[in-house]
A and B are shown apart, each in its own frame.
Chain A
Amino acid sequence: MDIKEIKKDFPILQNNNIAYLDSGATTQKPMQVIKAVEEFYEKYNANPHRGAYTLSMEATEIYENTRTKIAKFINAKHREEIIFSKNATESLNLIAYSYGMDNLKKDDEIVLSIMEHHSNLVPWQKVSRVTGSKLNYMYINENFELSDEEIESKITDKTKIVGITHVSNVLGTINNVKKIIKYAHKKGSIVVVDASQSIPHMKIDVQDLDADFLVFSGHKMLAPLGIGILYGKKEILNKMNPFLMGGDMIEYVYEQETTFAPLPNKFEAGTQNVEGVVGLGAAIDYIENIGYDKIHELEKEVIQYAIQELSKLEYLTLYLTPNLENHSGVISFNIKGIHPHDVASILDLEGVCVRSGNHCAQPLMRFLGIDSTCRASFYFYNTKEDVTRLVKALNKAYDMFKKYIIK
């Protein structure tokens, strides 16, 4: 498969002369996904689970078939273990409220990595405050990785929940979640995996990982904005209370009480984002059609080139593990003495799109002793030419600022 051919699938990359290096924030969408959403509205739009007429049945079928497709995609044992949400953040809030609030008590411990995105951190602060449980952190070493000693010293017999990102959205560090899950289970804790930054790039097998919960957003893997997934083990989800109340999540509603629908509807209150579900289905088809092996191969070539070229810039600090087999997707960096927002503005004028700021990871920034970074994040449609543009723009930024930088 030719990379030039792949790029042609992405209209936005044809319509703009840009080096799009912000796929960690959201990926661009291929024609196949855009067309699938369009086709849904042109041929099948109705409210699923509601009507007895053919069109509503068809909408239901598309919606439910996509659930089955997603279950297969991440190798879930049961299709009803797949719950549609708005995004990873909503999925994590569902777990925090419906599982965390009801199952944690005083002196229990929640353990998170310091790399967590605010979405897998702030909800747990709330759970900790309400239940009186303790919130502890696993810190990273000088290679920006979690050591076995750190994991084993923080996850204790008191730990009831471990929250861990599969891939850090700032550092690109791949955490060995399988190992963490195995250890946490031995200690009697469940594990919540944030796969938002990993699933675009690597095969996820929830049974192989033995994850209790795993969440991700569609929009970071070619799908439209506003669709997310919560995977949970059936036996755990069955015991949990609903999160949002309303239509379609009920069985019998009386004036004073209600019985709830079985999985998965119990957790899907109100009319759902069916176009998002359709788009996510098309995104999965697209990814499977290319294949994760090919995706990995394409990305590896470009990211290795980027690391090689960026490492040559002496004015640059890279926040990156030297163990590249433990790295995926994103490269954070700073130009010594220049604020990342100024760098990003100058890059923008050169048509290079990177993110700057704290990347919704303020505790990690504080731990690293910095306020913010620039972040270039990659997907399989990026090319070495995008890297060349990045390097050229960085040189321009440095040249502009260097005479003012206090040494």
Chain B
Amino acid sequence: MDDLSDVYNELIMEHSMNSYNKKKLEKADLSEIGHNPNCGDEITLEVKLDGNKIQDMAFIGHGCAISQASTSIMIDTLKGKTIEEAKEIIKTFIEMIKRETTDEEQLKKLEDAIAFRNVANMPARVKCALLAWHTIEDMLEKNK
């Protein structure tokens, strides 16, 4: 990592500072708290389902630019997807951050969330990028 703008790019910065996804949902079906005890970052994710589909999603909480942007962009990416599609995207995102996949075809399905690919080069920040994704993973697992 030698260029900061690889990580703190325009898209990430915009989402981190003023996210339209940062709000309470009127009526949420699922809610889950994600927390990084070492750094104090905390988010509450809310999901509204329509059958097998993620109809709406939002978050509240606080944390660093990377954790906040990652949560917001995740919401944009997963909204409207079926739970099965969402799980596949979540798996791919985690693999990308952990450098377990670099397959461009596979990474395409991440849409905007691909903006986080360079976080893989910043080991100290991996947990920030993954907070929301692990939280939704747990949430969907519990809702099986």
Contacts and interface: CB of A to CB of B under 8 A. Distances in A.
Interface of A: 338-342, 344-346, 348-349, 356-358, 362, 365, 371-372, 400-401, 404-406
A349 B1 contact: yes
B98 to A, nearest CB: 18
B52 interface: no
B13 interface: yes
A77 to B, nearest CB: 41
A400 B10 CA distance: 11
Given A339-B63, A345-B124, 14 more contacts: A339-B64, A341-B63, A341-B125, A342-B8, A346-B4, A357-B39, A371-B41, A371-B62, A400-B8, A401-B8, A401-B13, A404-B14, A404-B16, A404-B18
Interface residues of B, number: 23
Contact of B13 (A344, A348, A365, A404): A404
B63 to A, nearest CB: 7
A400 B4 contact: yes
A405 B64 contact: no
Q: Which residue among A339, A346, A348 has the maximum number of chain B CB atoms within 10 Å of its CB?
A: A339
Q: Which residue among B13, B38, B39 has the maximum number of chain A CB atoms within 10 Å of its CB?
A: B39
Given A339-B64, A341-B39, A349 B125 contact: no
Q: Which residue among A371, A404, A405 has the maximum number of chain B CB atoms within 10 Å of its CB?
A: A404
B40 to A, nearest CB: 5
Interface string B33-51: 0000011110000000000
Contacts of A356: 39
A342 B67 CA distance: 10
B144 to A, nearest CB: 33
A405 B17 contact: yes
A346 B122 CA distance: 11
B113 interface: no
Nearest to A337: B17
B89 interface: no
B1 A342 contact: no
Nearest to A343: B64
A356 B40 CA distance: 10
Contacts of A371: 40-41, 62
Contacts of A405: 17
B74 interface: no
